[in-house]
Structure 1
Amino acid sequence: MVVGAGLAGVRSVEALRAHGFGGAITLIGEEPHRPYDRPPLSKAVLLGEIDSTVVDSDLGALAVDHRPGVAAKGLRAGVLETTEGELAYDALVIATGASPIRLRGEGPQHVLRTIDDALGLRALLRQGRRVAVVGAGWIGAEVATAARRAGCEVTVVEAAECPLAAALGPVGAHTAPWYERAGIDLRTGAMVASVDLGGLTLVDGSTVEADVVVTGVGVRPSVDWLAGSGIELDDGVVTDEHLRTALPGVVAVGDCAAWWSRRYGRRLRVEHWDTALNSPEVAAATLLGGPGEGAVYDPVPYFWSEQFGHMVQYAGHHAGARLVMRGDPVGTRWSACWVTDGGTLAAVLAVNLPRDLMQGRRLIEGGQHLDVDRLADPAVALRDCTAV
């Protein structure tokens, strides 16, 4: 049984078949669509370049019983409770993803999580429309990019002191000029009190007039249906490094899984495409491999964003690491590295520098010690910054 028919769900089905499982597989999903990719929703779909992001997977060839429009309601050992009744299972994959956080208020607010969200929002982005985007994170920046390209008047309201503060800390401040150059009114340090008819009311009493309000302030793991199941929940479904949950025969993958990382010595939950793509391989091996050490999920987290004409890529996890800048962030090509106390690379951010991202990711995977002086010199390739 696979619960959640997004990318993580369909990849779980593929991985189970690839590992030789020939038994029955049921794939249920709350949305009425075939499985599809989410990253293009805030990029190519919102920009009007494509209308569909259906995953290239032959459900018929996979011999899977796909049941769209069916939601999970509860779980107990061996039984999944759904909106269509109870379903028995021998093993189960939790792939229910995450749901957007909404703000208080009586006014209409749009979020961007599903293909229907993206197509509905795209229809509203028209020349001269006033669009207020709440949140200058990854999604907020991409929505603002699309709205501006459509000719909208865009205001972005961010509670933190700079864009991408939650993801990048102070480094996010280097992206603030991008908003100004794009003709966007960026308001940082501004908290929203409510979404109202005709716009926003901020905590300081000021207002932002808008025809369209888009909320991009983060997501919560879609795990409420697991309450009382015996599965530990803590900012997602708690798993070990093999993606096993506390309930025998149940694993978790994708946005909802909070797994233990050997590499970083902490629990991680990463809400990005790379996790949905790759975690199912380990989950399938765990379900089918029996007792023992088994496959370990310990990736270098990776994600990317396209905003205001910049390709922004990030790999790793930088909490507690020391920042080393490479290049001048006033320019269009620069990167930032975070180095651990032990002298290894914890994370890398690359702006229009895919080579730095690729080489940095390999350094993180390899755990080589670095020469920080060379690392700070953008003329030196990252691969050549290892300590002698």
Structure 2
Amino acid sequence: MAEKSFKYVIVGGGVSAGYAAREFVKQGVQPGELAIISKEAVCTYERPALSEAYLSPEGTARLPGFHVCVGSGGERLLPEWYTEKGISLILSTEIVKADLPTKTLISAAGDTFTYQILIIATGSAVIQLTDFGVKGADAKNIFYLREIDDADKLVEVIKAKSNGKAVIVGGGYIGLELSAALRVNNIDVKMVYPEPWCMPRLFTAGIAAFYESYYTNKGVDIIKGTVAVGFGTNENGEVTNVNLKDGRVLEADIVVVGVGGRPLTTLFKGQVEEEKGGIKTDAFFKTSLPDVYAVGDVATFPLKLFNEVRRVEHVDHARKSAEQAVKAIFASEKGTSIEEYDYLPYFYSRAFDLSWQFYGDNVGDSVLFGDSSPTSATHKFGSYWIKDGKVVGVFLESGTPEENKAIAKVARVQPPVDSLESLAAEGLAFASKI
């Protein structure tokens, strides 16, 4: 089998790979030095589009429209761009073995790739119900959304099951975004999750109450406090119903599961240090091996702002960590230095006509402000989180670009507050004056 050798190799073809490639070019990578190896058949794209515009009835988002780096307002990197820059885009190629001491990667087809410097950008894999032996979880029309192939199949079945019934398993990011997308497609939607409210890793009960009421008003039937324990099928092997732990049986033509993901680190087990479920890195995304870097979902890194190590699963960090690693690689080669990664955690979502942003940390006491009535004309409301007398996190629904910049600044600066009552009364005005 063929052996190919490169100075730099990126394993993984997600968002991080595209932003890293752009930074490599900025730093002056030479033609033939860089390869991206991806098991997907298309070059890197902005993954958040899959759960939002890609599923709209108009099909507004389609490749090549959302290749990176359009998600952050940058140039769209089409396949020709990689060719022009002399970057080897090795698609439909799954790496099944990584031998880090010998700097060797082997593909499922038996091809060998060697490198001098490796960037691990393998991202996460979705957790599947088949992993837990859930009865009938391998039925047709049960979907997980991670890659563009998944989205294409879901679009097909939405068209085939016009005015059908869908059950969304999970009440996090995917659950909320896909419930909205399917309702917009006139699908009857039930959303099932075990927690007392939706998006519990971020939302407080007060924030969640708005979204649950808003979704209910949009026709989404929310079922809390139970889980799917099995699926019924017809003679074609297609899902027909979802059996819940509380004994209820829900009819379903379509099931979408969004119960989280796991960082894809298996290839590197025992070869690099791990921490908190990811690959341990420093503030430059260098791992315990000097010529191996890890970025995006798989990296556990020092979060300077909160003086602790964390792993962050979000597209914003995927972009920025990739750029940081490439800058660090070139600085090391030149014998210069760059600043440590100083990341402000940032999460956002868009669904229906809603759009929220969150910055910082959701720990300590929380204060809800603004008009959080689900029938409000503006939907503008938010929350501050206060720890040790300082604001450490801010959430805002339906903010303007200026207001979103203001809450980001608050989360970064961490201003002191006199009282929770005065902060609640002042609301967004507090952020605007920082």
Task: Tell me the TM-score normalised to structure 2 length.
Answer: 0.83
CA-based RMSD = 2.0
Counterpart for residue 387 of structure 2: 340
User: How far apart are 1:378 and its partner, in Å?
Assistant: 4.6
Alpha-carbon displacement from aligned partner over 1:135-171 (angstroms, at most 9, x marks no partner): 1111111111111111111110011011111222423
Q: Which amino acid aligns with 1:353?
A: G
Structure 1: how far apart are the matches of 2:88 and 2:340? 28
Deviates more, 1:255-264 or 1:38-47: 255-264
Q: Which amino acid aligns with 2:46?
A: D
- For residue 256 of structure 2, the aligned residue among 206, 214, 229 is 214
Structure 2: how far apart are the matches of 1:26 and 1:17? 12
Counterpart for residue 299 of structure 2: 257
Alpha-carbon displacement from aligned partner over 1:327-365 (angstroms, at most 9, x marks no partner): 131131101111221x33221111112344321111222
Contact 2:272 2:287 in 1 (8 A): no
Structure 2: how far apart are the matches of 1:384 and 1:32? 45
User: Are residues 1:112 and 2:112 paired?
Assistant: no
Q: Aligned pair in 2 of structure 1 residues 81, 370: CA closer, same or farther (>3 Å)?
A: farther
Counterpart for residue 104 of structure 2: 79
- For residue 273 of structure 1, the aligned residue among 315, 325, 342 is 315
Contact 2:190 2:221 in 1 (8 A): yes
Structure 2: how far apart are the matches of 1:38 and 1:95? 14
Alpha-carbon displacement from aligned partner over 1:203-236 (angstroms, at most 9, x marks no partner): 2232211011000111111111212323425322
Contact 1:374 1:385 in 2 (8 A): no
User: Are residues 1:45 and 2:70 paired?
Assistant: no
* Uncovered stretches (5+) of structure 2, i.e. residues with no partner: 1-8, 69-75, 234-239
User: Are residues 1:360 and 2:407 paired?
Assistant: yes
User: Are residues 1:24 and 2:46 paired?
Assistant: no
- For residue 369 of structure 2, the aligned residue among 321, 326, 330 is 326
Structure 2: how far apart are the matches of 1:344 and 1:135? 33
Spell out the pairing of 1:199-238 with structure 2 (5 A cutoff).
199-232=241-274, 234-238=276-280
Structure 1: how far apart are the matches of 2:10 and 2:256? 31
Deviates more, 1:290-299 or 1:344-353: 290-299
Give 3-state SS (helix, strand or coil) of 2:106's partner: strand
Structure 1: how far apart are the matches of 2:18 and 2:428? 42
Contact 2:357 2:396 in 1 (8 A): yes
Q: Aligned pair in 2 of structure 1 residues 100, 326: CA closer, same or farther (>3 Å)?
A: same
Counterpart for residue 121 of structure 1: 154
Alpha-carbon displacement from aligned partner over 1:172-217 (angstroms, at most 9, x marks no partner): 2331101210111100111121234212111223221101100011
Contact 1:74 1:227 in 2 (8 A): no
Give 3-state SS (helix, strand or coil) of 1:74's partner: strand
Q: Which amino acid aligns with 2:119?
A: V
Structure 1: how far apart are the matches of 2:85 and 2:391? 40
- For residue 198 of structure 2, the aligned residue among 145, 163, 169 is 163
Give 3-state SS (helix, strand or coil) of 1:168's partner: coil
Spell out the pairing of 1:280-291 with structure 2 (5 A cutoff).
280-290=322-332
- For residue 178 of structure 1, the aligned residue among 204, 209, 214 is 214
Q: Aligned pair in 2 of structure 1 residues 371, 385: CA closer, same or farther (>3 Å)?
A: farther
- For residue 96 of structure 1, the aligned residue among 111, 122, 128 is 122
Q: Which amino acid aligns with 1:24?
A: E
Structure 2: how far apart are the matches of 1:87 and 1:254? 22
Q: Which amino acid aligns with 1:15?
A: E
Spell out the pairing of 1:127-138 with structure 2 (5 A cutoff).
127-138=162-173
Alpha-carbon displacement from aligned partner over 1:220-255 (angstroms, at most 9, x marks no partner): 111112123234253222212221111221111112
Structure 1: how far apart are the matches of 2:432 and 2:179? 37
User: Are residues 1:308 and 2:352 paired?
Assistant: yes
Task: Tell me the TM-score normalised to structure 1 length.
Answer: 0.93
Structure 1: how far apart are the matches of 2:369 and 2:227? 33
User: How far apart are 1:293 and its partner, in Å?
Assistant: 6.2
Aligned residues: 384
Counterpart for residue 5 of structure 1: 13
Contact 2:348 2:355 in 1 (8 A): yes
Structure 2: how far apart are the matches of 1:62 and 1:375? 52
User: How far apart are 1:292 and its partner, in Å?
Assistant: 7.9
Q: Which amino acid aligns with 2:181?
A: A
- For residue 61 of structure 1, the aligned residue among 84, 103, 109 is 84
Alpha-carbon displacement from aligned partner over 1:227-284 (angstroms, at most 9, x marks no partner): 2323425322221222111122111111222211011122222222211221112101
User: Are residues 1:299 and 2:337 paired?
Assistant: no
Give 3-state SS (helix, strand or coil) of 1:59's partner: helix
Q: Aligned pair in 2 of structure 1 residues 169, 324: CA closer, same or farther (>3 Å)?
A: closer
Structure 2: how far apart are the matches of 1:244 and 1:63? 25
